[in-house]
Chains A and B, each alone.
Chain A
Amino acid sequence: MDIRISLTDGVPIYQQIVTQVRYLIAAGSLEPGIEMPPIRVLAEQLQVNPNTVARAYRELELEGTVEKRSTRGTFVSDSGSKLATRHRQAALHERIDQLLAESTQLGFSVDQLIKEIHSRSRVMERMQKKAGPGRGKSA
């Protein structure tokens, strides 16, 4: 499972695992019915505390993205994909809200902000092309 832990942005590690598992599910990399790696295995792979992985799994289980089946393990639930999409949207909305608040503070209108987003997106595309394939990708 391709999860990357960042130690610099102050986001609790369990939260990073939750967010990235949701992303992997919503993106189709983890399909419904697939078994999640055992807590201990993922903890050793990511080099984090197993309690932290357990907490992330509990959170995902609570929201219904994954489910425990008897004592065998944790699986991506049938409705996992729908739920993961909804959660990702909510996360994006949160960031958009922040951006809106900040741009208002800086005196930009919503229309100006949208124009700026398009222009930045073009700049980033150009930069990525210049960096060549496999480089300059955001994690």
Chain B
Amino acid sequence: MIQQNSVVPMVEEKPVEVKKQPIVQIRNLTRKFGSAHALDNVTMEIPRGVVMGLVGLNGAGKTTLLKHILGMYRAQEGSVSVFGCDPSRDPVKVLSRVGYLTEEDSLPGWMTAEQLLSFSRSFYPDWDSEYERELLDTFDLDPSRRIDRMSKGQKARVGLTVALAHRPEFLVLDEPGSGLDPVVRNDILNAIIRTIADSGKTVLFSSHLLDEVQRVSDEVALIRGGKLVECGPLDSLQTRYQRVTLKLDNDNGSDAPDLDALGKWNRSGSEWSAIVDLEDDSLEKAVASIGAKIVRTHGVSLNEWFINSAR
């Protein structure tokens, strides 16, 4: 369903490309818990105006990275800068411009939604009461209800209202859809879409729901074992990583092609296929050297790419 919202400016007014200082700059960030690396030498930037989807298996370091960006952790090694400030040293300055929704159930259950909202209002100079009412209305929330008497989905909507009502420049969502029904997930997705339509806004969200990541992300970052293994525009990932199918000249029917460096080869009928980085110049030479031919290449979904790359 299309909802008209006269308050939000049209995205058409946005200049084609806004090349300004990135919203987030992370340099060589390392975090250890005990001797285990939660984050290992992560360097990344989030440009203004993009939606970045952060993906990775459980325990890969997504939440730890988000907590650094929100100033809940201070960098042990390396640096984190949000709007040009260190969020752990200057949390008020940074967080007043950020809307965030974290994974755990962090809302105070003993408050009513109205109490939480008026409490939050005092934090944010740019709080937009009209937008708040509009969100409550859209989400069909009863503000007089105690939060601990609400369903999981209603709590998520309250959290989203707090995150959005001050019209933040930067929205950070930690697995916003996980464990929620499709209707709430739909609300969250629309909130992301509307936020980015509000020109110049930036969104970072972590998620396991790869279909949703694929729908709304401009850029995708993949974390594996604390390392950032991929970070870039979704379109170029989709151009680069494709399923390559090979036919071996001398196929004995069992031995996989000796091309482990390129990808994980699986047999399909009389052919072998793997998800391969086409930017890798060694592909054609390597294929020719084992007496094989590329029969076809075709695109893969983000989900296929993730399963191939996340382990």
The complex places the Cα of A50 from the Cα of B192 at a distance, in Å, of 10
A10–B215 CB distance below 8 A: no
User: Contacts A5-B215, A10-B300, A40-B11; is A49 near B49 (CB within 8 Å)?
Assistant: no
A50–B193 CB distance below 8 A: yes
A109 at interface by CB-CB < 8 Å: no
The CB with the most chain B CB atoms within 10 A, among A12, A48, A49, A73, is that of: A49
User: Contacts A12-B235, A14-B235; is A47 near B12 (CB within 8 Å)?
Assistant: no
Query: How many whole Å from A35's CB to the nearest CB in chain B?
Result: 12
B277 at interface by CB-CB < 8 Å: no
B93 at interface by CB-CB < 8 Å: no
A47–B196 CB distance below 8 A: no
Contacts of B235 in A (CB 8 A): 12, 14
B16–A50 CB distance below 8 A: no
A33 at interface by CB-CB < 8 Å: no
Contacts of B10 in A (CB 8 A): 38-40
Contacts of B298 in A (CB 8 A): 9-10
* Interface size of B in residues (CB-CB distance below 8 Å): 42
The complex places the Cα of A43 from the Cα of B12 at a distance, in Å, of 12
Instruction: Kindly identify which residue among A10, A11, A39 contacts B12, using a CB–CB cutoff of 8 Å.
Output: A39
Size range of the interface on A? Answer: 20 to 34
A7 at interface by CB-CB < 8 Å: yes
Contacts of B49 in A (CB 8 A): 51
A51's nearest neighbour on chain B, judged by CB, is B218
A50–B301 CB distance below 8 A: no
Contacts of A111 in B (CB 8 A): none
Residues of chain A from 110 to 139 with CB closer than 8 A to chain B in the complex: none
A49–B2 CB distance below 8 A: no
A29 at interface by CB-CB < 8 Å: no
Instruction: Kindly identify which residue among B50, B189, B194 contacts A51, using a CB–CB cutoff of 8 Å.
Output: B50
User: Contacts A45-B2, A47-B193; is A9 near B299 (CB within 8 Å)?
Assistant: yes
Instruction: Kindly identify which residue among A40, A44, A49, A73 contacts B51, using a CB–CB cutoff of 8 Å.
Output: A49
The CB with the most chain A CB atoms within 10 A, among B12, B196, B217, is that of: B12
A interface footprint on B179-217 (CB within 8 Å = 1, 0 otherwise): 000000010011001101100000000000001001111
Query: How many whole Å from B294's CB to the nearest CB in chain A?
Result: 10
B302–A44 CB distance below 8 A: no
A98–B242 CB distance below 8 A: no
A63 at interface by CB-CB < 8 Å: no
Query: How many whole Å from B196's CB to the nearest CB in chain A?
Result: 6
B186's nearest neighbour on chain A, judged by CB, is A47
User: Contacts A10-B238, A40-B10, A41-B2; is A47 near B296 (CB within 8 Å)?
Assistant: no
B11–A10 CB distance below 8 A: no
The complex places the Cα of A71 from the Cα of B2 at a distance, in Å, of 22
User: Contacts A41-B2, A50-B197, A102-B296; is A7 near B215 (CB within 8 Å)?
Assistant: yes
B8 at interface by CB-CB < 8 Å: yes
The complex places the Cα of A98 from the Cα of B13 at a distance, in Å, of 40
B189's nearest neighbour on chain A, judged by CB, is A47
Contacts of A50 in B (CB 8 A): 11, 193, 196-197
B295 at interface by CB-CB < 8 Å: yes
Instruction: Kindly identify which residue among A14, A54, A71, A98 contacts B11, using a CB–CB cutoff of 8 Å.
Output: A54
Q: Beyond A11-B238, A47-B216: 13 further Cβ-contacts under 8 Å?
A: A11-B299, A12-B234, A40-B11, A40-B194, A40-B197, A44-B3, A44-B193, A47-B189, A48-B215, A50-B196, A51-B196, A51-B218, A71-B13
